Structure 1
Amino acid sequence: MKTSDDEEQLLHRGGRPTLADLIDTLEFSPSKGAIELHGARMVLSRATFGADLQDELVRRFGEHEAKVLMMRLGYRNGREDAEFIRQGWPNLDIGDAFTAGTRLHMVTGTVRVETLHNDFDFKTDRFSGDFLWHQSVEAVEYQRRHGRALAPVCWAQTGYAAGYASVFFRKLVLYKEVSCAAMGDKSCRVVGKTVDGWGKDDPFVRMFLDEVLVNRAEMPSRLRKAAGKSAPMEGAGLEDRVVAPVRHTLEKIAHAGLNALITGPEGAGCRIAADWLHVARFGHGKTHRCHATSPQLPALLDSLRQTISAPGVRGQTLIIEGIDALADDLQVALIDMIKTDGIPPENLLVIGLSHLPLQLLRRDTALRSELMYALSVLPAAMPPLSARPDDLADLAECYLAQMRPKPGLEAPSLTEEAKAFIRTAAWPGNLPELRATLMRAALCAAAPPVIDRNDLDSARLDPRPSAPSLSQGEDDFVELWDQLVPLFEAGIGVDALVSRIEQRAVAEADGNVSAAARLLGLSRPKLDYRLKNPV
């Protein structure tokens, strides 16, 4: 790569990686037709490509929407480059990693950055910066094509700067272009501050938060809201429909920055609700999922404790399944991590999942009350499908929409009789059972792609009679009650009766506690605890 002698000194200026360091990692492989920068695939393209994209977006969607889209693409690109620097040079001083964004901008030929002011402290999330952008490719190309602009046009670069800087802080960092070469200024000038520094009522901040970071047309649909009420369910995806019963609660949890406890029977969608909450809270970030009894959990807690203490780490979500079985020493570690008696870390969300209802978690498990109360400020209880008959047909159609039909065939669809069957049938296996039955029916349908009632009936494995409702089973309950009354009158209490039932279930299952728990509708940890601690 050729560089004039009078510019050679610029290659070695600034922190690591310098421009020279970056250029040294640039490789071109003719055999692969690939250019790589420190192992990352790059593309050398004409500067007019970005200008063409901007012009086409303006022509098709209007200037405002084009600006939002270009900023969003720049923001994503900036975050990716920040992670590229952190991973490619893992031992790099965080200050050098932060300022490396300006050098990446230069090495890609986007702009030459001159720093006027750059004040930051990662521990306190303090940041303010003032920069000049010389030879900005967006400004130069705009002026060459359209003449003098009436407003700043470096949309993608502004988004890039925000995305790159925000990775290193626990607060969003935004940049405003206060002057632009396309407007006739000598160079572009950008000022950066945290969201708090600009103020959340600032119009640019509101636009960035409401439009650049949140795209109503694509992801995350789970974050859509209508003014003053939930978004309408029409056109909603599977995740939105699954979490509909607890959506208000999850939104409040995300907004308040709380940890969470999500309960519900197996297959009711607790995992989906946890993932939904992660996106609602952080948008970006990483999820860590582990069962409470997993031998990997202690190491995961240690690793996560170090991760969240590092400057600039974005949201981390820890999902603990079967939290009712969490060992006491791990409960203590978790209590310490989420700081139940102080200010919890902003970049950590802990979600506990359990098949036990909240009352039994508090009464019949060894969970510490300090942890229970910290997770259950706003508990979310996912109902079984038997309590959601009006949602079943819509959930079924969402599952079918996800199926990939064979080439030349239409996507599978349900007849009205099939929808009625789904609404009235019992689904003790909840969502997994519904999904498997639909897939089986679609593959074996008599007249594909249409699925009728008979197809569904035939597709059910080990069909069980519908669970009687209170009205349907009243006679059966009265008969059962008549048989139980003499036992109660003889002094056998409910606890003793339940204990006998549990022991009988284990005997029927040949000692298999898991099978006995399924028969009784309990989780294995719950039944195991009750067997070891009889009333």
Structure 2
Amino acid sequence: MTSGITFDRLPELAAQFHLCFRSGHIYLEGQRMVLLHTGALGALRRELVDTLGLDRTRGVLTRMGYASGKRDAEMARELLPRASDEDLMNLGPQLHSLEGIAHVTPIRFDIDVAGGRYSGEFLWEDSFEAAVHLEAFGPYHDAVCWMQLGYATGYTTAIMGKSVIFREVDCRGKGDTNCRIVGKPVEDWGEEITEELQYFEPENVAEQLVALQDQVEHLRYSIDEQTNLGDMVGVSPAFRETGEIIRKAA
């Protein structure tokens, strides 16, 4: 069944926000939340890019968004235990808007959880993530709403009970007017999403760093062995100075 998104539950969702000033807690439907400045999130993105590079940063933020979307889907099922597939999918964009991520406008979506069928297309207006990326790095050649893509993928995958992947086909971060995403099950994408799938797989950066360190040490020992003075032995200052010059030159 093809359906449109309504925002009739926004007042009900907003009523689930509870601010506890004494304890310093913010709750949404019993789930603890935090408020962060977008400037702080932009600084975090820059720090991650400087430390890990763009590609690994994309993976970290995509998986972070995925976990958030999955948790919101679980919350939606608790909030609407008897909801239809359409109602549950309606709730995701409303949560996205309520949490200040972006204003979501539906273009189309078709969902049948029992039949394993899904396709959707949504417009994101005023995406916070595109804004912080532009502020930190300027225009990029590719889409940059990595957390939001992870969120949409995590939310829809949890609702469907099967992997549904979204791609950002338009993005303000690369000069488009607004951001637009398209989603469908992994098997329906085929080889088109080979690159996207890697960002949902965690990388063990620590192991890679240890391996690189081992390679550097091995290379250092190899250079030392190749630059010794063989069987020559000398103790005079001139001999030792010449040997040192040879090693440095090598």
User: Shorter-chain TM-score: what band?
Assistant: 0.7 to 0.9
Shift, 1:91, TM fit: 2.6
Distance of 1:45 and 1:34 partners within structure 2: 13
Deviations 1:160-198 (A, max 9, x none): 100000012242101100111122211001111111111
Aligned to 1:206: 194
Aligned-partner residue type, residue 191 of structure 1: V
Aligned to 1:42: 33
In structure 1, runs of 5+ residues without a counterpart are 1-12, 222-535
Change (3 A) 1:94 1:101: same
Shift, 1:215, TM fit: 2.1
> Which of residues 69, 94, 97 in structure 1 aligns to 2:88?
97
The answer (yes or no) to whether the contact 1:179–1:185 under 8 Å persists in 2 is: yes
Distance of 1:185 and 1:197 partners within structure 2: 26
Deviations 1:220-245 (A, max 9, x none): x9xxxxxxxxxxxxxxxxxxxxxxxx
Distance of 1:54 and 1:186 partners within structure 2: 22
Aligned to 2:15: 24
Aligned to 1:400: none
Aligned to 2:210: none
Aligned-partner residue type, residue 139 of structure 2: R
Shift, 1:126, TM fit: 1.2
> Which of residues 196, 202, 207 in structure 2 aligns to 1:215?
202
Distance of 2:78 and 2:39 partners within structure 1: 31
The answer (yes or no) to whether the contact 1:129–1:193 under 8 Å persists in 2 is: yes
Aligned to 1:14: 6
Aligned to 2:78: 87
Aligned to 1:233: none
Aligned to 2:168: 177
Determine if the alignment matches structure 1 residue 118 to structure 2 residue 101.
no
The alignment partner of 1:74 has SS state of helix
Change (3 A) 1:185 1:38: same
Distance of 2:140 and 2:196 partners within structure 1: 22
Shift, 1:207, TM fit: 3.4
Distance of 1:167 and 1:22 partners within structure 2: 20
Deviations 1:226-272 (A, max 9, x none): xxxxxxxxxxxxxxxxxxxxxxxxxxxxxxxxxxxxxxxxxxxxxxx
The answer (yes or no) to whether the contact 2:85–2:111 under 8 Å persists in 1 is: no
Distance of 1:214 and 1:186 partners within structure 2: 31
The alignment partner of 2:160 has SS state of coil
Aligned-partner residue type, residue 47 of structure 2: E
The alignment partner of 2:159 has SS state of coil
Q: How does 1:115-514 map to 2 (within 5 A)?
A: 115-199=106-190, 201-202=191-192, 205-209=193-197, 211-217=198-204
Distance of 1:15 and 1:106 partners within structure 2: 10
Distance of 1:169 and 1:111 partners within structure 2: 23
Distance of 2:17 and 2:121 partners within structure 1: 29
Aligned-partner residue type, residue 212 of structure 1: Y
Which of the pair has more CA radius of gyration? 1
Aligned-partner residue type, residue 118 of structure 1: F
Deviations 1:72-120 (A, max 9, x none): 1111111111011112332333321122110111001110001011111
Aligned-partner residue type, residue 35 of structure 2: L
Aligned-partner residue type, residue 11 of structure 2: A
The alignment partner of 1:71 has SS state of helix
> Which of residues 53, 57, 71 in structure 2 aligns to 1:62?
53
Deviations 1:104-163 (A, max 9, x none): 110011100010111111121111111110000011122233322221110000011000
Aligned-partner residue type, residue 6 of structure 2: G
The alignment partner of 2:143 has SS state of coil
In structure 2, runs of 5+ residues without a counterpart are 208-250
The alignment partner of 1:32 has SS state of coil
The alignment partner of 1:198 has SS state of helix
The answer (yes or no) to whether the contact 1:15–1:96 under 8 Å persists in 2 is: no
Shift, 1:208, TM fit: 4.0
The answer (yes or no) to whether the contact 1:119–1:127 under 8 Å persists in 2 is: yes
Shift, 1:53, TM fit: 1.9
Shift, 1:15, TM fit: 6.0
**Could you tell me the TM-score, scaled by structure 1's length?**
0.36
Distance of 2:203 and 2:53 partners within structure 1: 17
Number of matched pairs: 202
RMSD: 1.9
Moved over 3 A (4+): none
Distance of 1:95 and 1:75 partners within structure 2: 20
